């Protein structure tokens, strides 16, 4: 489901900012701090990360079974229990680890691969048309069905999910970064750098990558949040990692046990967790974009 939904946010509306120095970053941060939605989003993200890291301190790892089964939320079990009597609160807290891991790892891979391809394409102009065709063609592939196919054939595990999600997320990154990088390579200071050194690697690392960093920051957030939804979707279809708790697995088990409509707590809490993560990530990227762009900053 919805793989591109979040992309459009940053496609437009931001204009090329040649490079950001320390002063610009500071200005961005000042502007950002005045965006209440952005600050709220940042707070939620931090909270979720803390929950993931400190899971052992917050709740015991869900046991293999417990009693009573399908209990509604109560003082002992804040989020109720599932069809094997396990504590849903514990599942959600521990599930945040895998969900956030998938998000971070998949987007990290996608960003690295996507940026490298984009920058190389932009710098070595002869490769650029090949890169753009590759990106276009890959973007036209039906992503979710392909993910289902691969996950089903390879066998579901956290690694598979990370790789599959990353494999279909990089073209979007390449597309964004490429458009920015194409502008940067034509700027006078890059030409000047070309005169000073013969090492393309040095120019790319020193001048081009820093200039595209803002675009990368935005796409990290967007790719990561999309990865969470994709992973949850795969898990819901029975292609999640059966050995680790994730939000998608809680929903999948609720679905398998036919309890989604009667035991609302099984669906509600993991869904809210997913919602919060994706929502916060998206709002953060919107706010960051607004803050970074001097023209759209509020006075």
Partner 1 sequence: MSRFLFLIPRLGRGVLTIWFAVTVTFLLLRLLPGDPALAIASPNMTEETRAILLKEYGLDQPLIVQYGIYLWQVVQGNLGVSFTQSIPVFDVLMQRLPWTLLLTGTALVTTVAVGIPLGVLAASHRGRFLDRLVQIIGVTGQSIFVPSIGVLFLFVFGLMLGWLPIGGAYDQDAYGLAWYGSVATHLALPALSLMLVQLGSYVLTMRSTLIDALREDYTLLAKANGLPYRRVLWRHALRNALLPTTTLIGLQLGFLVGGAVLTETVFAYPGIGRGIYEAVTQLDFPVLQGAFLALAITVVVANMITDTVYGFLDPRVKKA
Partner 2 sequence: MYPRKIALAAAALVASALTLSACAPSAPPAATAVAGSQTLTVATTTDVVNYNPLIGNSRSDYWITNLMYPHLLSIANDGSKVPQVATKWGYVNEKTGFYEIRHDLKWSDGQPLTAEDVAWTMNAVKKDKPSGTFYGQLANLDTATAVSPTRVEFTLTKPDSSVVEEIGFWGNIVPKHVFEKAASVAKFANDGTDGGWVSAGPYKLTKVQVGQSYTLDRVDTYPLISGGTPLSAHVVFRVFPDINTEILALQSGEVDLIANALPPAQVAKLKATSGVTVEESVGLGYAHMTYNMDNPDLAKLEVRQALAHAVDYEAIRKVVLQGQAVSTGSSPLMPVLKDYYDSSITEYDFSTDKSRRLMEKAGYTAGSGGVFPVKFRLIYSLQDSVTSQWATLVKDSAAQAGIVIELQGTERNTYLAKTNKGDFDIYAGNFAIMDDPVTNMTLSYLPGGAINYTHVNDSKLNDLIAQGAATTDKGKKVTLMREAAKIVRDNVYDNIMYTQNLYFAHSSKWTGFVSKPSELLSLVNPVSLAGAHPTGK
Q: Which residues bind partner 2 (CB under 8 A)?
A: 63-65, 67, 69-70, 83-85, 151-153, 155-156, 238-239, 242-243, 253, 255-262
CB of residue 79 to partner 2, shortest distance in Å: 17
141 or 205: whose CB is closer to partner 1?
141
Q: Which stretch binds partner 1 (CB under 8 A): 104-112, 197-205, 212-220, 283-291?
A: 283-291
Give the chain's count of helices (H) and strands (E): 14, 0
Q: In this chain, which of 283, 288, 291, 292 binds partner 1, going by CB under 8 A?
A: 283
Quick note: the x/- pattern for partner 1 over 228-267, rule CB under 8 A, is: -x--xx--xx-------------x---x----xx-----x
* 150 binds, options partner 2, partner 1, none, Cβ within 5 to 8 A by partner type: partner 1
* 188 binds, options partner 1, partner 2, none, Cβ within 5 to 8 A by partner type: none
Those residues with Cβ within 8 angstroms of residue 210's Cβ, 6 or more apart along the chain or in another chain: 19, 20
Those residues with Cβ within 8 angstroms of residue 283's Cβ, 6 or more apart along the chain or in another chain: 37, 38, 40, 41
DSSP letter at 89 equals H
CB of residue 227 to partner 2, shortest distance in Å: 21
Q: In this chain, which of 278, 288, 291, 292 binds partner 1, going by CB under 8 A?
A: 278
Tokens in use for 173?
């990154």
CB of residue 68 to partner 2, shortest distance in Å: 10
3-state secondary structure of 81: strand
Tokens in use for 188?
């006078």
30 or 206: whose CB is closer to partner 1?
30
* 83 binds, options partner 1, partner 2, none, Cβ within 5 to 8 A by partner type: partner 2
Is there binding between residue 174 and partner 1 (CB under 8 A)?
Answer: no
* 183 binds, options partner 2, partner 1, none, Cβ within 5 to 8 A by partner type: none
Distance of alpha carbon 234 from alpha carbon 225, whole angstroms: 15
Q: In the window 112-151, what residues touch partner 1 (CB under 8 A)? A: 133, 136-146, 148-150
- Contact (CB, 8 A) for 135 and 178: yes
Distance of alpha carbon 245 from alpha carbon 241, whole angstroms: 8
Quick note: the x/- pattern for partner 1 over 21-40, rule CB under 8 A, is: ----------------x---
Residue 267: name the closest of 278, 256, 279 by CA. Answer: 256
Distance of alpha carbon 40 from alpha carbon 27, whole angstroms: 19
Residue 81: beta bridge partners? 87
Residue 45: name the closest of 94, 2, 110, 103 by CA. Answer: 103
CB of residue 22 to partner 1, shortest distance in Å: 27
Q: What share of the chain is helix, strand, coil (3-state, %, to 5)?
A: 70, 0, 25
CA distance readout (Å), 178 to 80, 172, 285:
48, 10, 19
Q: How many residues does the chain have?
A: 299
Is there binding between residue 2 and partner 1 (CB under 8 A)?
Answer: yes
Is there binding between residue 296 and partner 1 (CB under 8 A)?
Answer: yes
Q: Which residues of the shown chain bind partner 1 in the complex (CB under 8 A)?
A: 1-9, 11-13, 37, 133, 136-146, 148-150, 152-155, 225, 229, 232-233, 236-237, 251, 255, 260-261, 267-268, 271, 274-275, 277-279, 282-283, 286, 289, 295-296, 298
């Amino acid at each position: 489901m919805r793989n591109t939904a979040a992309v459009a946010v940053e496609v437009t509306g931001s204009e090329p900012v040649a490079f950001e120095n320390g002063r610009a970053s500071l200005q961005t941060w000042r502007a950002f701090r005045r965006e209440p939605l952005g600050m709220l989003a940042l707070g939620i993200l931090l909270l979720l990360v803390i929950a993931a890291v400190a899971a052992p301190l917050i709740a015991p790892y869900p046991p293999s079974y417990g009693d009573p089964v399908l209990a509604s939320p109560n003082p002992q079990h804040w989020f109720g229990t599932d069809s094997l009597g396990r504590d849903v609160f514990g599942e959600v807290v521990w599930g945040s680890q895998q969900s956030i891991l998938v998000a971070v790892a998949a987007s990290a891979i996608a960003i690295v691969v996507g940026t490298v391809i984009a920058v190389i394409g932009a710098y070595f102009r002869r490769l650029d048309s090949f890169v753009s065709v590759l990106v276009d063609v890959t973007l036209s592939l039906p992503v979710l069905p392909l993910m289902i196919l691969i996950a089903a054939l390879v066998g579901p595990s956290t690694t598979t999910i990370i790789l599959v999600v990353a494999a279909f997320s990089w073209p979007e990154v390449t597309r964004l970064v490429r458009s920015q990088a194409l502008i940067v390579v034509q700027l006078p200071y890059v030409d000047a750098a070309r005169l000073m050194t013969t090492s393309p690697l040095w120019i790319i690392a020193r001048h081009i990558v820093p200039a595209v960093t803002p675009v990368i920051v935005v796409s990290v957030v967007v790719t990561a949040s999309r990865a969470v939804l994709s992973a949850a979707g795969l898990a819901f279809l029975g292609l999640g990692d059966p050995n680790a708790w994730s939000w998608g697995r809680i929903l999948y088990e609720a679905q398998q046990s036919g309890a989604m409509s009667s035991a609302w707590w099984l669906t509600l809490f993991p869904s809210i967790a997913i919602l919060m993560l994706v929502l916060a990530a998206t709002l953060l990227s919107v706010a960051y974009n607004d803050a970074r762009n001097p023209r759209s900053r509020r006075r």
